[in-house]
Amino acid sequence: MVRVDGMTETGNGAAEERRAGSRVRSVVARWRRDPGVWRRGAVLSACAVLLALLMVLHRHIPNDIGNLGSLIETFLPWFGLLVPLLAGLALLRRSATALIAALLPAVVWLDLFGGLVTDKNGSGGDLMVVSHNVNADNPDPAGTARAVAASGADVLALVELKPAVVPLYEEALADAYPYHSVRGTVGLWSRHPLDDSRPVDIRLGWTRAMRATVAAPEGPVAVYVAHLPSVRVKLHAGFTANQRDRSADRLGETIAAEPNRRVVLLGDLNGTMNDRSLNAVTSQLRSTQGAAGDGMGFSWPAGFPMARIDQILVRGVEPVASWSLPRTDSDHLPIAARVTF
């Protein structure tokens, strides 16, 4: 009886496959008989070519007017959603030309971002680091601190610390992290001794970046914690990122002068690795997400992440894994990485 049922299910499946194949052949036959299948869809085809060119030439889009180039680069991965839309419209329009043209932006997107959609996480690692923008208006600072400490990180960087609630974070993290340093609105907690902790001037007039040496068992590593100025999209001014860009340039200069060959940068850079305005920083360091992550690793906003503006960047150490941690009461997701010396 079981064998008969199995044979029936197999037979039904084979029949369904034959019907699906028949429908495909029928559609193809109708398209072949349609003399306009190659002539229709000129507008769709042009849109597909323009989309491909936009993704290929995004570095050449000027920033002179409203930082348009940086704005597009911030959300560049999402342009891939237009590819299935164009393909679907080409099918509705019954245009073979537009359907083939839609392959062009698809190939470009895969070339730019295809490597990010695969899981490259490895095992092991000498040091685990976590970075989290905790949100100055976090309703439960102690709970957020306990949540990120539960990750088991060796080094923990927190940014957007409101001075009045710093003692709550210190108390919640004291047992797991015997060493810590807070400078302005950024802080570093570590299981290993800290040395040479000092603020880093990023041209703001107040402290939103710091540097310390972590005495890891495998050797010292310079750890930077930074929270670059926020950006906004305004109708009258475009992408207001000039202050952030100046701070990024200054941070890049400081990292370039760092004598320690092992460097880890943690924090909220308010920009993605695609954004040319962060080149002073990103040209010197590797993204752990790009090298050893699983997926795009978007970190903001926490409810529906659309961009990875929180970063873990390294030099002189090798990323082996990178991932996002569960949501806290912040509007950002915590991010984590493991690196090997």
The helix-helix angle for 103-113 and 42-56 (nearest 10°) equals 20
Mean pLDDT over 213-239 rounds to 88
Distance from C-alpha of 268 to C-alpha of 133, rounded to nearest angstrom: 6
Distance of CA 143 to the CA centre of its chain: 25
Contact predicate 69/120, CB 8 Å: no
Whether the predicted pLDDT of 239 surpasses 80: no
CATH architecture assignment, domain 127-340? 4-Layer Sandwich (3.60)
- Please state, as a whole number, how many other Cβ atoms lie within 10 Å of the Cβ of residue 170: 15
Domain locations in the chain? 34-116, 127-340
Distance from C-alpha of 334 to C-alpha of 282, rounded to nearest angstrom: 20
Whether the predicted pLDDT of 6 surpasses 70: no
Give residue 4's pLDDT.
47
Collapsing DSSP to helix, strand or coil, 198 comes out as strand
In this prediction, residue 64 has a pLDDT band, given cuts at 50, 70 and 90, of confident
Mean pLDDT over 294-320 rounds to 96
Question: Between 306 and 1, whose confidence is greater?
Answer: 306
Whether the predicted pLDDT of 138 surpasses 50: yes
Whether the predicted pLDDT of 23 surpasses 80: no
Percent residues over pLDDT 90 in the chain: 79
Give residue 39's pLDDT.
82
Query: DSSP string covering 216-270, please?
Result: ETTEEEEEEEEEPPP-EEETTTEEE-HHHHHHHHHHHHHHHT---S-EEEEEE-S
Whether the predicted pLDDT of 317 surpasses 90: yes
Give residue 29's pLDDT.
62
**Which residues contact residue 16 at a Cβ distance below 8 angstroms, ignoring those fewer than 6 apart?**
none
Percent residues over pLDDT 70 in the chain: 88
For residue 213 the two structure tokens come to 């040496």
pLDDT (tens digit per residue) in 83-130: 999 999 999 988 999 999 999 999 999 999 998 888 889 999 999 999
pLDDT (tens digit per residue) in 253-289: 999 999 999 999 999 999 999 999 999 999 999 999 9
